[in-house]
A = this chain, B = another copy of it.
């Protein structure tokens, strides 16, 4: 099962090792998102080539296609995705609340319609854990309710109560005997909810701690809140979480988001941005996102990012610009590879800075250099 060891701390920032049945990931760890069991446009051997260690797959998507029984029959998630390293599946909850149609939540679970064909489906804590046990990732997630970022406080409170009950049921399903997976081979993380309300967040964290699980996640962020609100949530939650277990901030984020969260004691991340923004023509660099569709890059013989090695380093910005303008998917693939390599190098640099006791200086330097003109980004994506 999962073990976590702290290698170094530097203020709240931590460097550690998450060891799973499929190997060890160094933290801070960024998990690349293989939604349907594959990174969008990026092969597993390229992910290995850039040093990717941890991979995430989406329970909701895999449950719809090809179904967890099929994944199981093809050897389980690792064999299916041909990924040798650690893997995590989410609970499906977030997708149910963000993608599915005709959703009705009751105390027992969620009924909804598939975003693909409208067929009626139901997810409960027991069903989410059953699917995740069948998929067979190293880390699985408790089933939670994720209210929208602008939900009234009363709705967030109700969601927190449900999340606490559903956590108990998730834990029971995880610990139960069964044909696949379970507590002996898979680690269960609890998810802290509570919206942007620090007191609800703290209460939700204390609910989670009662179960002494292998890890803890902060959910319901990266859903539209501001950076100050997110930081306030992390400042309220992280100090409550035990030192000896990994802390996972779900769905976050940009390179700057990662630096800010590591500065507050987060160990683990996942986000679609590296591959999604890659497909949209954007390369992450220490100077911020580089929008390679812009005409200024057409004649640029420089590499995408001189500091980031990997399979995308050999091509020029001008070549990428040409591929993007010509509608060649190779452009998005090369940028996705670059972005994953950039995220990998960023987490490695944070880890090195923490181990050297100079994380605050690294973070200050990063903040000073990184410029993200988000208005433009939204316009071009």
Which residue numbers of A lie inside 8 Å of B, CB to CB? 36-46, 65-66, 70, 73-75, 79-82, 298-299, 301, 311-312, 314-316, 318-319, 321-323, 325-326, 328-331, 333-334, 337
Check B38–A328 contact: CB distance below 8 A.
yes
Asked whether B70 lies within 8 Å of A330 as measured between CB atoms, the reply is no
A38 to B328, CA, bound (A): 8
Beta-carbon nearest neighbor of A84 in chain B: B314
Q: Measured between alpha carbons, how far is A323 from B316 in the docked complex, in Å?
A: 30
Are A299 and B37 neighbours in the complex by a CB distance under 8 Å?
A: no
Q: Which residue of B lies closest to A61 (CB)?
A: B326
Given contacts A43-B337, A45-B311, A333-B333, contact A37 B74 (CB under 8 A): no
Q: Is the CB of B43 within 8 A of A322?
A: no
* Contact A38 to B323, CB < 8 A, known contacts A43-B311, A82-B315: yes
Known contacts: A43-B337, A70-B298, A330-B41. The answer to whether A36 contacts B311 by CB under 8 A is no
A45-B314, A82-B319, A298-B70 known; A328 vs B75 contact (CB < 8 Å): no
Contact, CB under 8 Å: B316 / A38: no
Smallest Cβ-Cβ distance to A66: which chain B residue? B322
State whether A316 and B80 are in contact (beta carbons under 8 Å apart), knowing that A326-B65, A333-B333 are contacts in the complex.
yes
Q: Which residue on B lies nearest to A301, using beta carbons?
A: B74
* A82 proximity list for chain B (CB < 8 A): 314-316, 319
A44-B314, A82-B314, A311-B43 known; A299 vs B334 contact (CB < 8 Å):
no
Cβ-defined contact, B330 with A329, below 8 A: no
Bound CA–CA A301/B80 (angstroms): 8
Closest beta carbon of chain B to A69's beta carbon, Å: 10
Within the complex, the shortest CB–CB distance from A28 to chain B, in Å, comes to: 27
A-B contact pairs, 28 of them (CB 8 A): A36-B328, A37-B319, A37-B323, A40-B328, A41-B41, A41-B329, A41-B333, A42-B330, A43-B312, A43-B333, A44-B315, A45-B311, A65-B322, A65-B325, A65-B326, A66-B318, A66-B325, A70-B318, A70-B322, A73-B299, A74-B301, A74-B319, A79-B316, A80-B316, A80-B318, A80-B322, A81-B319, A329-B333
